Amino acid sequence: MMKKQSSMAWGMKTMFHCSIVMFFIGGLTTLSFYRNYNQEAVSSDVDHVTLTTSVVSTTKSINQTGMNTSRDKAVRQVFEHQKLLKITPSSLTESCDFFSGRWVHDNKSHYPLYKEDECPFLHGDLACQTYGRKDSKYQQWRWQPHGCDFPKFDGKRIVEKLVGKRLLFVGDSVNRNQWDSMMCMLYSSIPGKKKLGLRLNQTLYTFRSNDYNISVDYYWAPMLVESNGDDPSNHSLDHRTIRIKSIEKHAKHWVDADILVFNTYLWWRLPIIKLLKGPGSVLGGPNQVYDKIDNLRAYKMVLETWSEWVHTNIDPAKTKMFFMGLTATHSNAKDWGGKKQETCYKEKEPVMVDGFWESGTDPKMLRILESSLRKLKAKGMNVQLINITQLTQYRKDAHPTVHRRLWRPLTNEQKKNPQRASDCTHWCLPGVPDVWNELLLAYIFPIEWVKVQIDGSAVVGLCRSAGFGADPREWAVKIDQLQV
């Protein structure tokens, strides 16, 4: 009888010890964006339990029976059994395909993430309502992956994670579009004064908080290597000339970043690219000597140059790297059943046909990009593709069209034909790029969920990477600080 009572007492103590760990982890499972995971059963075995808020009531029940063992003693005894713990961390980004889904109109959600007139740094080309757009439904669409959810923007958490770091976007004006979005998302979340600066002849833009030592920068390099588009305000649009191996001119300004986000696509859509062979100017001139090659071959060659630079100059243990997918350019309304010669002008609804693909996006370029990133990964350099290509295909409604700051007045011909004068390449803010950034941040600062096995009983908990780590020894400090 005494042996049985002793066994029962030991079981109650063990249950109490474990419940402390379970209480802390279990509380995190109530977060709304994990609702799909909270319903997951570990297995049909009766010894297996799923963490829910019932853990809290279990803790209260044990406390009410007089099991008031001190917190420190409980922590010590729990971790005396560390050899019985098996921890298998996995990321939400590994268990959820964020890029396969649909757009859902939701005017009750947290979108838009900010108000246009409350973001003082917003670029005029993207401030659509400031420049005459009357409708706002384009701001209220939520991207819903199939079968799962991605973490919604938590400004306070992201600011805490960015302290002491430099986040740098590198690429063309669509990457600047995304940088503008990130600035506006962070603006109200970063306490204190913020400032916007321009350096390097308007090639490097920097958004900075000195109080928090946070830098969110954008570097203009539309073709990554040296090109005739290197001047952000004075460049040719009717041809492309590049130095295929000349990347250091730009890349020397990237090496100190903690997080690098690349893109290059729009400038490669002309069918012929000029490869400069001699010392002549990329801006043209009588002494230019070049080869002409097709754009797909040139795109592949430049990604090879970029890959060599990444492999040589970036330490993956110190720098996280990402590459944004291609983005849609809705310049042909016939793609979605519109009339010939019409574009995205006056469009107010997304395309709702699953798998829709507009004619201006070349899937071969996406395959070239994916192949380049696979080769880098085989060399130990992980550059994560943020594959926003499909989700942008549907959003023909989200472009500035004529509602943007104009560098020069529209001509009479353009006024007569606003369809052709419309910008169907960039994106109104707030809008679609805010979702890109939510997806990007889910990879930069991933949420982890951890399966813990204690004495044969499986417990599933969700851990913020900012809080618990995968090592249970880190939990002792956290539990010791917890008021139970």
Q: Is there a contact between 158 and 417 (Cβ–Cβ < 8 Å)?
A: no
- β-bridge pairing 290-294 and 86-91: unpaired
Q: Indicate if 426 belongs to the active site.
A: yes
SS3 at position 384: strand
Question: Does the annotation count 90 as an active-site position?
Answer: no
Query: In angstroms, rounded to a whole number, what is the distance separating the alpha carbons of residues 33 and 361?
Result: 32
The DSSP code for 237 is S
Which of 173, 209, 227, 422 is the catalytic position? 173
Inter-CA distances, 157 with 151, 370, 441, 473, 482, Å = 12, 31, 11, 23, 20
**Amino acid present at 207:** F
Extended strands (E) in 36-123: 86-91, 101-105
User: Closest Cα partner for 433 from 153, 109, 34?
Assistant: 153
Q: Is the dihedral of CA 256, 260, 266, 270 positive or negative?
A: positive
Q: Which of 17, 250, 330, 426 is catalytic?
A: 426
Q: Label residues 279-311 b or e (16+ Cβ within 10 Å = b).
A: eeebeeeeebebeeeebbebbebbbebbbebbe
- Classify residue 360 by its DSSP letter: T
Tokens of 84: 């019985």
Q: Which two tokens stand for residue 248?
A: 């250091």
Cβ-Cβ contacts under 8 Å for 181 (sequence gap 6 or more): 429, 430, 431, 433, 434, 436, 437
Question: Which of 125, 149, 154, 423 is flagged as catalytic?
Answer: 423
Q: How far apart are CA 220 and CA 170, in angstroms?
A: 6
Please confirm, yes or no, whether 423 is among the known catalytic residues.
Answer: yes
Return d(Cα 371, Cα 444) in angstroms, integer. Answer: 22
Look up residue 75 and give its two tokens: 């922590």
Q: Report the C-alpha gap between 178 and 435 in whole angstroms.
A: 10
Cα–Cα distance measured from residue 308 to residue 322, given in angstroms and rounded to the nearest whole number: 16
Distance of CA 354 to the CA centre of its chain: 23
User: What positions carry a catalytic annotation?
Assistant: 173, 423, 426
